[in-house]
Amino acid sequence: MILWMLDKIRVALTFSQENTPLSKAHVGFKFLSLILFFISITLVDNVYGIILISTYLVLVTLMSKNLRILYESSLAVIIPIALLGFFAWIFSPTGIFSYETLVYVLSLVVRIYLLAVSFLIIFSTTNPSQLACFLEKHGLPLVFSQSLILTWRLIPLVLKDVIESIMSIKLRRFPSTKALIPVTAVAIERANMVSEALYVKGLGFKEKRTIISSPGILSYGLVLTIHSLILLILVLILL
Amino acid sequence: MIKIENLWYRYSSEERWVLKNINLFLKPGEIGLIVGPNGSGKTTLAKAIAGILPEFYSGELRGKVIVNAVNVLDEPEEAFRYVGYVGEDPEVQLVTLTVKDEVMFGPSNLGLPLKEVVERANWALRVSGAENLEDRTIFELSGGEMQKVALASILALKPKVLILDEPTAFIEAPLAKKFYERLRDIAKKESITIMLIEHKLNHVINIADKIFVLKDGEIVFQKNVKKLTLSDIMNNPMPKLVGTLFGKVASKEGYEAKPLLRVVLNENSSNIVEIESLWYKYPRSKNYALRNINLKIPRETKMGLLGPNGSGKSTLIKIIAGIIKPQRGVIRVYGEFLKAKIGYVPQNPTLSFIQPTPYKEVYETAKRLKLANPEYEAWKSLKMLGLEEYAEKPVLHLSYGFRRRLSIASALVGKPKLLLLDEPTAYLDFDSKVELIEVLNTIAKEYKTTLIIASHDTWFISEICDLAAILHRGSVRFVGEIESILKLPEIESYGVENPFHGGVRS
């Protein structure tokens, strides 16, 4: 099950280079909309509110023009969210079989699902170079923007290593937990090699780099931001 | 221009000098070829020239490395302006998510105008033969394609000196030949000094100006390639290694084409692997990596999977090993008992190491597999792969070539019924390849192990395998006996080199 889950997370975090309104949307507004959505989701406390905010996920999916991304992202989060729901249910102070517990657990699970899946869809359809260029243009030091790109690049790589290492070790009848050793060793070596690669490619030798990516199409970004802003206002009214 | 004077280096953790009194000179536009066995100090020398050694590694460094009138040992930060370095593992050298971003990354760090960044990127992609990859993401690339993109990303910096550490380790032979011809043009037209570290010498020797043989950190032989004579080769400290320069010498040692036979596959024989209508697509990829694969691999045979980069060889090996699951199709690996008797040697051998030293790695595996005399079996495996003297060395201090040997030793110790090897010759020198051929042939015979080997090294496959399959764009194009496969007139059009009908210097 761990291997299955790791593989699904790896797939969900893999960058998808599609030519869709979501991937073309202005990167700044895209993430602004995600922040507004996050605020809405933390404030919402009733069923109507949850139905309302779920329209954000519908919009994101429609703009991604790809139901498969929704499906893959859902698979990646299903086990952790199910576990969270289970523990929230059995440790509920209002009792296991009460109506309050049922509403509380369902509300928690749905909210986290909406947030996680929306985040994964936006994350996997955004080119981090685009975001890094946008942030650098607005004054973020390149050490931070580059860290962002590298994290984005290396997460699926590390997950792939974990899966390959577990399989290779299992064939020699060692327990899967032993995979932590080679994966850590490879990660440390990789970190060293990546820093060498960044060095030979001249990162940090000039304070100002050339901005190579445009931030994206403003109108698509505005659609997302306005939608999440309206949601936030409605949630505040409903409170 | 590179001028190295009396270069010595040792890591802070070691007494032994890794580089000993290196003296070397290359003019602008010249191509230098560094050869030597695994662990001879080739990569360390490359890193010294690129200015990486003084910047990233603690140790004692003496001498001078002068590139464009700058001693990069004193001013390593200046090296970046003149020296481009493409290391052994292409995957980690790609630091963005798309090919386009990757190639523009270096020039953008120089703060150049956007127009020039784009022009440089397009030029570098064209020169390195990666134009068709421009719209791809890094996750979709095969090992060979990554290598091309890694090279393009460095070429875009327009360096004066270019150091390439095994640049064709994952590139199929016909493309490697073109690649080296392109490098020759680049060196000539752009006056770039190129230093190549390479084990496969048959193509590279045609473009190199000077050859340097490195052994135990010393240059034991150096000469202008055009002035090389047969006696140079035979009197060299490593005649077999340098012998690969000439087809004639290789033939004398018995590496000649086998007689031809007809393609005959016994459909009734009992198979160890059966694959039916198998399809596989990588996540977020538009194209299928494997398309409708149908393959039966009989027990106790040696099957080679040949094909160009991105043809699906490694993907197929991983599916047979159970690492990835196909979306469609059936795969049967025969006998439940075989589950514990499958050996797998991954492309990145480090991923299989769980012990600090080679001896412990193999010994613990032998113990886990409940072998009767694990100590004896461990030493036997280590000896087979020529690892006895490295048995107590930390595994992470081993070169890539030795790590691959260790990975094979661990997989072999259990006398597996099925052994899967993914590009086993990458980063191996010629002598190691010959040793590996002997080891695999012995194992297959003694333990009745079925071998499935994915490689673009046709010569290696032809020396081991009875059967081969050519994969091209995710489909199996031909299956049959290796001799018949090598006789196919269209073999090279599928990106597979015929090592006995061209490619070797006459």
Domain map (residue ranges) of chain A: 2-127+215-238, 133-200
pLDDT band at A20 (very low <50, low <70, confident <90, very high): very high
Q: How far is residue B151's CA from residue B129's CA, in Å, rounded to a whole number?
A: 10
- Which pLDDT does position B350 carry in this prediction? 87
- Sorted by sequence, the CB contacts under 8 Å of residue B126 that are 6+ apart come out as none
Q: How far is residue A73's CA from residue A154's CA, in Å, rounded to a whole number?
A: 18
Q: Does A203 touch chain B (CB under 8 A)?
A: yes
Residues B183-242 have pLDDT tens digits of 888 888 888 899 999 877 777 888 899 999 888 889 888 888 887 776 666 565 544 444
CA A145 to chain B, closest CA, distance in angstroms equals 12
Residues A43-71 have pLDDT tens digits of 987 888 899 999 999 999 999 998 889 99
Q: Tell me the chain A residues in contact with residue B109 when contact means C-beta distances shorter than 8 Å.
A: 201-206, 209
Q: Does A197 touch chain B (CB under 8 A)?
A: yes
If phi > 0 it is left, if psi is from -120 to 50 it is alpha, else beta; for residue B355 that is beta
- Sorted by sequence, the CB contacts under 8 Å of residue B438 that are 6+ apart come out as none
Question: A148-176 burial, b for 16+ CB within 10 Å, e for fewer?
Answer: ebbebbbebbebbbbbbbbbbbbbbebee
AA letter at B399: S
The residues in A 22-41 lying below 8 A from B, measured between CB atoms, are none
Compute the average pLDDT of residues B351-378: 90
Q: Tell me the chain A residues in contact with residue B55 when contact means C-beta distances shorter than 8 Å.
A: 199
The residues in A 111-130 lying below 8 A from B, measured between CB atoms, are 124, 127-129
* Phi then psi dihedrals of residue B279, to 5 deg: -125, 140
Compute the average pLDDT of residues A171-193: 84
Q: Is A161 in contact with B348 (Cβ distance < 8 A)?
A: yes
Q: What is the CA radius of gyration of chain A?
A: 21
Are B273 and B301 contacting, i.e. CB atoms less than 8 angstroms apart? no
Q: What is the dihedral of CA B415, B418, B419, B421, to 10 degrees?
A: 180
Residues B424-445 have pLDDT tens digits of 887 777 778 888 898 889 888 8
- Which pLDDT does position B251 carry in this prediction? 36
Topology of domain B2-252, CATH: Rossmann fold (3.40.50)
- 3-state SS record for B30-41: CEEEEECCCCCC
* pLDDT above 60 for B267: no
- The residue length of chain A stands at 239
Q: Tell me the chain A residues in contact with residue B136 when contact means C-beta distances shorter than 8 Å.
A: 17
Q: Fold match between B2-252 and B271-494?
A: yes
Furthest C-alpha separation in chain B: 69
Q: Does A143 touch chain B (CB under 8 A)?
A: no
Of B13-17, B242-246, B326-330, which range is least confident?
B242-246
- Sorted by sequence, the CB contacts under 8 Å of residue A4 that are 6+ apart come out as none
pTM of the model: 0.74
Give Cα separations from B273 to A220, B279, B299, B321, B480 (angstroms): 51, 16, 8, 11, 15
CATH of domain B271-494: 3.40.50.300
**Of B357, B364, B361, which is closest to residue B390 (Cα–Cα)?**
B357
Are B277 and B318 contacting, i.e. CB atoms less than 8 angstroms apart? no
Residues B59-99 have pLDDT tens digits of 888 898 888 788 888 877 777 778 889 887 788 888 888 99
Are B333 and B342 contacting, i.e. CB atoms less than 8 angstroms apart? yes
Residues B30-43 have pLDDT tens digits of 999 998 887 788 88
- Sorted by sequence, the CB contacts under 8 Å of residue B356 that are 6+ apart come out as B394, B395
User: Domain extents for chain B?
Assistant: 2-252, 271-494
Q: Tell me the chain A residues in contact with residue B414 when contact means C-beta distances shorter than 8 Å.
A: 172
- Which pLDDT does position A27 carry in this prediction? 92
